[in-house]
Amino acid sequence: MTELKVFAQAGEAAWTPTADGNRRRVLLSTDELMMVEFGFDKGGVGALHSHPHVQASYVAEGRFEVTIDGRTETLETGGSFIVPSGLVHGVRALEAGRLVDSFAPHRADFLA
């Protein structure tokens, strides 16, 4: 049986390029919850999409235009948002920045 990882040190997870030209790194993951950091260059887009997972996101750095279910707001460092299951959402980086997203349950597609 593998020991459950419950702590992560800064910088220990490797960045993985994403299909949309951004990058992500899975910080921690259990079956019930996952924490993922996303990095964006200025102008980077997280295209509109939906998934069955509930998502909570924190703007760790930068400024983002965030669209959820047709409503758009600009959030900057320290801001946050929640995406209920199934709602269409996406982001655009108005400057270089990072988002820390939590997903419940975990995103198995990010572990493959």
* pTM more than 0.75: yes
Residues 21-27: what's their mean pLDDT? Answer: 97
Interval 42-93: pLDDT, tens: 999 999 999 999 999 999 999 999 999 999 999 999 999 999 999 999 999 9
DSSP letters, the chain, are -PPPP----TT-SPPEE-TTS-EEEEEEE-SS-EEEEEEE-TT-EEEEE--SSEEEEEEEESEEEEEETTEEEEEETT-EEEE-TT--EEEEESSSEEEEEEEES--GGGT-
What mean pLDDT value characterizes the chain? 96
